[in-house]
Every structure is written in C-alpha cells, then in structure tokens.
Amino acid sequence: MDKLKIGELASATGVTKRTIDYYTNLGLLSVERSASNYRYYDKTMIERIHWIEKQKQLGKCLDEIHNMLSPTEQTHEEIDIQDIRLQMRKLEQDVTMLMGNLDDKERKKLRKKVSPESVALMQSLLLILNN
C-alpha cells in the first residue's frame, strides 16, 4: 500500500503524531480519510515533513512555510537558493564576528590556515548567489 497511517508517518519522519496532526490542521500536509475514519498519508508526505523541518531549522515560522507551499509562490528550487543565500550571509556574519574577537596574531594564524582555493570557492559562491 502506498499510504501510511499517522503512526507509520511519524516513525518514518521522526516527528510526533501530534506534530503531524498540527501540520495537517494548518494545511501543510494533506490527508485522506477512510470509510472507518482512519487517516492515510501519501508517502510523499515523508519528504514534505523533512522539508518543513529543514525550513524551521532555518528560522522560518509555519506561516512562512505555508506560504511557500502555496502554488502561486516560488518553486522549491527558488526557495532552496534563498535558503543558501541566507545561510551564506549568516556564515559571513559568524566569520566576521569570530575574526573581530581575535587579536592580530590569532587573525593572521587563522588566515594562513584558509587555503586560496577555499577563498576562491567562497567568492565564486557569493557571485553566483548574488546574480
């Protein structure tokens, strides 16, 4: 059977049945009800839950996530690019903060450990993401 009961979906995703109920009530997940009122979820909901949890880890609220899932909004690829941009900006802020907390000697030592290839890769990624 290609459908999962709520407990099976919870086991497959690592979230609680209560969380699945909540997501379903918010319209983040779709569910089918059987004649005996059992809830059955399509297996694609496993990927959807993982995606929702990833978005939450990135700091998005459930309202934002719901808007992202609406058909008139951006594609998942566009959203993933935005997420990468957000992560790159956060990483840049973290590195800047770290560098600011170091004295000159520690800063020079750290710069020597970063390879030119790594710097080139980071610059390339920033150029790609800014276009």
Low-confidence residues of the chain: pLDDT under 70: 1, 70-82, 128-131
Paired sense of beta strands 39-42 and 3-5, if any = antiparallel
User: What class has domain 3-60?
Assistant: mainly alpha
Cβ(66)–Cβ(26) below 8 Å = yes
Q: Give the residue range(s) of CATH 1.10.1660.10 domains in the chain.
A: 3-60
Residue 15 has a pLDDT of 96
Q: How far apart are CA 90 and CA 120, in angstroms?
A: 19
Which of 59, 130, 131, 55 minimizes the C-alpha distance to 88?
130
Q: How far apart are CA 107 and CA 124, in angstroms?
A: 23
Residue 9 has a pLDDT of 96
Residue 73 has a pLDDT of 46
Residue 50 has a pLDDT of 94
